[in-house]
A and B are shown apart, each in its own frame.
Chain A
Amino acid sequence: MKEETKQGWLFVSPWVIGFVLLTAGPMLYSLYLSFTASSLLSPPQWVGVENYRRMFADPIFYRSLSNTAYYAFLGVPLGMLLSLLLALLLNAPVIGLGIFRTLFFLPSVTNTVAMSILWLWLLNPEFGLINTALAAVGIDGPLWLQDEAWSKPALVLMSLWTVGGQMIITLAALQGVPKELTEAASLDGAGAVKRFWAITLPMISPALLFNLIMGLVGALQVFTQAFVMTGGVQPGSEGGPNQSTLFIVLYIYKKAFQEYDMGYASALSWALFVIIVLCTWAAWRFARSRVHYEGGAT
């Protein structure tokens, strides 16, 4: 073997070993487990497609799917819109931008558990800041997390507070839009709105696509907020009123680590994996014809 080949493999070997032991191996094993009845204590027993048949007949699985879809399809577009708005504002030539950028970005580096506890208090129906503020303008605020109709919107609202990362990405893209282009369009008589649709938006579309895909992948895996905010005192009570915040990862967690139903939980996680791949693929397909990459490459 060539010396360079040997050394190269040596350097990348930590990742290769980790990939085999901690990623590829476990993936294959979880696929196998999904065709078995398995608890931690007894060896897995082959049951064929039984877990998948059970899954398609499981109303709680569908409930967790629709909860997750609700959260992702409401939260991701709203988050993208808000982060775009913030980035556009921060791209304007005004003084004091650094302060505002910090204000908008800071919540996104907080600790999810600490943030969840803060929002539990903010969303408190009786004494929380949100309902107190709503009451001040004469609105009778909802029960938020204690009401099955409002528990998911409450979590979406909280997710909007952490769009800082997306905002930074969009802002970086906005700052990369060549000034000559907008100036030329301006001279040609294009107004601000026209310039935005015809130049700015296409130029930043790769960043928006990135935010869309990362946002979707993240939202489909939402767990910690739901676990911390919608659980009671008893373990197992997580998932909110009438299971309205039982998201799919929370359901997998309960099946695997509270009920030790490892076979069924593995089937659920493969279902989630397929859903994430499909959503990513769909977002990419949808965007491919609309996203503009500099240099014409698609």
Chain B
Amino acid sequence: MSATGEIALAGRVFRLSLIYGALVTLGALFSLPVLWMISSSLHRLPDVFAQPYRWLPEVWQWENYVRAVTILLVGRFFLNTMVITFPVMAATVLSSALVAYGFARFRFPGRDVLFSLCLGTMMLPGQVTMIPLYILFARLGWVDTYLPLIVPALFGSPFYIFLLRQFFMTIPRDSEEAALIDGASRLRIWWSIILPQARPALATVLIFTFIGTWNDFFGPLLYINSPEKATLTLGLNLMKTQVLGSGVVEWNVLMAASLLVLLPNAILFFLAQRHFISGISMGAGK
């Protein structure tokens, strides 16, 4: 091997080790908080304050999880969150897909203006509408019910409308036209021809809606007052307030509960990684 070849090889090895070094360091920094969370959640309470901290618990206190589950279930937080999340998912995906089909397949005066308006509202900060909406829902007697959190989902969501419209545009029109000639209604075509072909895009919408609703804090904070109606995020915040109030913070139980709350996100992510990636890239690609 020539001298220049050796230098080039040494350079490549150096570059690779630099890249790996950076990846491993950053990877450790990104994963340490979660490892510490898991570790804390399995300690006995005095052990989480031990100096120096032992990463592996002396006594594996699985009971923390029993207590966390008990609090989350007895407080109905888990159930309440599902009662909101599933209707919101169904309403969002159906209404957004209807509107998206309208924008994708029909030519009518005003369509392009409407579509730009729809895209424009994506950037709108929620604060300019939240006070009137609160007053509106209060007048309707909807405060401390789940209606303010569910009903708006019936009107479609701009980002998902955009995402689904882009997807619908890529579906060939042949089978639609054949069905039209056979006398099928547009609604029927939407339901039995378009939606089945759009399953990947619909799945992306469902996943993002699930994550968004499951994790929502601001909405429940505004509208839900009764502790027995609280969602997981409200319940978790309530738990934090209670333990802070009692003087000794049970970090081990708090960490167990927090882990349980974010578990569905993590599981969903591992099951549907490509939907996350495509949804995010889609948002940026417009």
Please give the residue numbers on chain A whose beta carbons come within 8 Å of chain B beta carbons, in ascending order.
2, 4-5, 7-12, 14-19, 21-23, 25-27, 29-30, 33, 40, 85-86, 89, 92, 94, 96, 99-100, 102-107, 109-115, 117-122, 126-127, 129, 132, 161, 165, 168-169, 172-173, 207, 210-211, 217, 220-221, 223-224, 227-228, 231-233, 249, 252, 256-257, 262, 265-266, 269-270, 272-273, 276, 280
> Would A127 and B49 count as touching, CB distance under 8 A?
yes
With contacts A15-B118, A89-B26, A121-B255 known, is A217 near B123, CB below 8 A? yes
> Would A228 and B237 count as touching, CB distance under 8 A?
yes
> Would A100 and B27 count as touching, CB distance under 8 A?
yes
Nearest CB in chain A: distance from B53 CB, A: 6
* B170 in the interface (beta carbon within 8 A): no
Q: Which of B111, B135, B152 has the most CB of A within 10 A?
A: B135
* B266 in the interface (beta carbon within 8 A): yes
> Would A12 and B214 count as touching, CB distance under 8 A?
no
The residues of A that contact B190 with a CB separation of less than 8 Å are 11
Nearest CB in chain B: distance from A93 CB, A: 9
| A115 to B221 alpha-carbon distance, docked (Å) | 17
Nearest CB in chain B: distance from A167 CB, A: 10
The residues of A that contact B117 with a CB separation of less than 8 Å are 19
| A76 to B106 alpha-carbon distance, docked (Å) | 40
With contacts A104-B30, A109-B265 known, is A221 near B125, CB below 8 A? yes
> Would A106 and B269 count as touching, CB distance under 8 A?
yes
* B89 in the interface (beta carbon within 8 A): no
The residues of A that contact B158 with a CB separation of less than 8 Å are 15
> Would A280 and B123 count as touching, CB distance under 8 A?
yes
* A-contacting residues, B234-286, CB 8 Å: 236-237, 240-241, 244-245, 251, 254-255, 258-259, 261-262, 265-266, 268-269, 273, 276-277, 280-281, 283-285
Contact of B33 among A29, A118, A168 (CB under 8 A): A118
Nearest CB in chain B: distance from A87 CB, A: 12
> Would B240 and A12 count as touching, CB distance under 8 A?
no
Smallest CB gap from B258: residue in A: A114
> Would A228 and B240 count as touching, CB distance under 8 A?
yes
With contacts A89-B19, A121-B40 known, is A8 near B127, CB below 8 A? no
> Would A169 and B132 count as touching, CB distance under 8 A?
no
Instruction: State the main secondary structure of chain B at its contact with A.
Output: helix
Number of interface residues of B (CB under 8 A): 92
> Would B125 and A4 count as touching, CB distance under 8 A?
no
> Would B233 and A111 count as touching, CB distance under 8 A?
yes
> Would A132 and B53 count as touching, CB distance under 8 A?
yes
Nearest CB in chain B: distance from A7 CB, A: 5
Binds A, one of B2-10, B58-66, B96-104, B198-206: B96-104
Smallest CB gap from B103: residue in A: A12
Nearest CB in chain A: distance from B137 CB, A: 10
| A273 to B128 alpha-carbon distance, docked (Å) | 7
> Would B251 and A121 count as touching, CB distance under 8 A?
yes
Contact of A115 among B138, B251, B262 (CB under 8 A): B262
The residues of A that contact B215 with a CB separation of less than 8 Å are 111-113
Task: Show 22 residue pairs from A and B whose CB-CB distance is below 8 angstroms, ordered by the A residue.
Answer: A5-B106, A7-B106, A8-B102, A11-B190, A12-B111, A16-B114, A26-B131, A29-B135, A100-B23, A100-B26, A105-B276, A107-B30, A107-B34, A109-B265, A111-B261, A111-B265, A121-B255, A122-B36, A127-B53, A224-B218, A256-B130, A262-B135
Contact of A269 among B27, B99, B127 (CB under 8 A): B127
> Would B284 and A113 count as touching, CB distance under 8 A?
no
* B147 in the interface (beta carbon within 8 A): no
Question: Top 9 nearest A-B pairs by Cβ distance?
Answer: A18-B155, A11-B102, A8-B106, A26-B132, A12-B102, A8-B108, A114-B258, A26-B129, A5-B108
